[in-house]
Amino acid sequence: MLFLKEIRYRKFNFLLSVIGMVVAVAIVVLFFMMTTASQNETKRLTRDMGFNLRIIPVETDMNDFWISGYSDRTMPESFVAKLVDAKSFYYAHLTATLHKRIQWKNKEVVLTGISPDELETNGSKKSKMIFAVEPEKVYVGYEIANDFNIKEGDKIPVLGKEYLVERTLAETGSEDDIRIYFDLKELQTLLKMEGRINEIMALNCLCSAKGDDPLEELRIQLGEVLPNTKVIMNRTVAVARERQRKMMDNYFAVLLPIILIGCVLWVGTFSMLNVIQRKTEIGILRATGFGNWKIARLFFARALLTGFIGAILGFFLATWLGMEYGTEIFKVTARSVKPLYSLLYKSLLFAPLFAALAAFIPIVFAIKQEPAEVLKEA
């Protein structure tokens, strides 16, 4: 085929075109790999900022609530199931908890029971934001462990029953340092409060709501299902989380078009160079009866082959770079940095079309030249 002969004759120019296409594909594929990894990392880091919603009984005295750190009223644990059954709420990681302040070894401590499961209103399964405590075991806050020299593996008595210390927790600088954590049902039984909780911790999905502060929407949703409760939002954490997510999304949305424009210019430049180098050859072809379509087809075939080779080599180059360096950049979600083989199929489809599009103007320039003028210059 004529375009293959031309490629063999102008190997260096073709090689430069392929390199340009490889780089273009690699940049785009690597961009999407890093975007996906960055979004996962951002979600994980902002998620680890903690729960930002607290659902409590409506009759809670808020003055007492803020002084003690929890509601002194209780509600049925079944309220969690009602929220889950409602579906499509802006609530996630629903976690039932029970709190009780007691005197323990002449110290005031807070007993906290945590449900082992974090439920989702959309039915999906997600990784836990907080630990789960096994029955008959406890996690001990930093200050309690430090004051009483409690070590992991020790046994401590709480309200007449001994519990194995599964873990002593790191210092948080908050009331959590004076907590003893239990499995929810274990603490309910210990306190003779079976089936009762005084708080549901949750994480709101701001991306499903309008604006940065969807508290009114959250309250309306909650009132429809659990009118005997109220929701409190940690606005600072919630808004910071959502603004960080939106900032990353906007950043990549702006950057991608710039990258694509740069790639078009790169590939188009090499196509134009090829046209200029073949100016005399094109004039001869036109003079010997080659029509516009036949000449255009030669250039398009070359561009499509360039795109196809660039798609394969560019994908694997980007994948290697992403796997090699992405895991070092995104340490929290390093496992999520992996080959996106769907991009290989898309590259094989769009890279040749992209190369043909980039070559379109040079091709038009080639077929518009008058043979007599070209040959006169030669």
What does each of the 378 residues of the chain score in pLDDT, given as a tens digit? 655 655 665 666 677 778 878 888 888 888 777 777 766 666 665 555 567 788 999 999 999 898 888 999 999 999 988 888 876 566 778 899 999 999 998 899 999 999 988 777 665 656 677 788 999 999 999 999 999 999 999 999 999 999 999 999 999 888 889 999 999 999 999 999 999 999 998 877 554 455 555 677 778 778 888 888 998 887 665 566 666 666 666 666 777 777 777 777 777 776 677 666 666 666 666 666 666 677 777 777 877 888 898 889 989 988 888 777 766 666 555 566 677 788 888 888 888 888 787 777 776 766 666 555 544 554
Tokens, residue 373: 């003028």
Phi, psi angles (nearest 5°) of residue 175 = -65, -20
- Could you give the dihedral angle defined by the CA atoms of residues 59, 63, 64 and 66, in that order, rounded to the nearest 10 degrees? 110
* Distance from C-alpha of 190 to C-alpha of 188, rounded to nearest angstrom: 6
What is the model's pLDDT at position 157? 94
**Phi-psi category of residue 284: left, alpha or beta, with phi > 0 → left and psi -120 to 50 → alpha:** alpha
User: What is the 3 state secondary structure string of the chain?
Assistant: CHHHHHHHHCHHHHHHHHHHHHHHHHHHHHHHHHHHHHHHHHHHHHHCCCCCEEEEECCCCHHHHHHHCCCCCCEECCHHHHHHHHCCCCEEEEEEEEEEEEEECCEEEEEEEECCCCECCCCCCCCCCCCCCCCCEEEECHHHHHHCCCCCCCEEEECCEEEEEEEECCCCCCHHHHEEEEEHHHHHHHCCCCCEECEEEEEECHHHCCCCCCHHHHHHHHHHHCCCEEEEECHHHHHHHHHHHHHHHHHHHHHHHHHHHHHHHHHHHHHHHHHHHCHHHHHHHHHCCCCHHHHHHHHHHHHHHHHHHHHHHHHHHHHHHHHHHHHHHCCCCHHHCCCCHHHHHHHHHHHHHHHHHHCHHHHHHHHCCCHHHHHHHC
Q: What are the boundaries of each domain within the chain?
A: 2-45+243-377, 53-233
What is the model's pLDDT at position 104? 92
* Distance from C-alpha of 77 to C-alpha of 239, rounded to nearest angstrom: 29
The sign of the CA dihedral 184, 190, 195, 196 is negative
* Distance from C-alpha of 156 to C-alpha of 158, rounded to nearest angstrom: 7
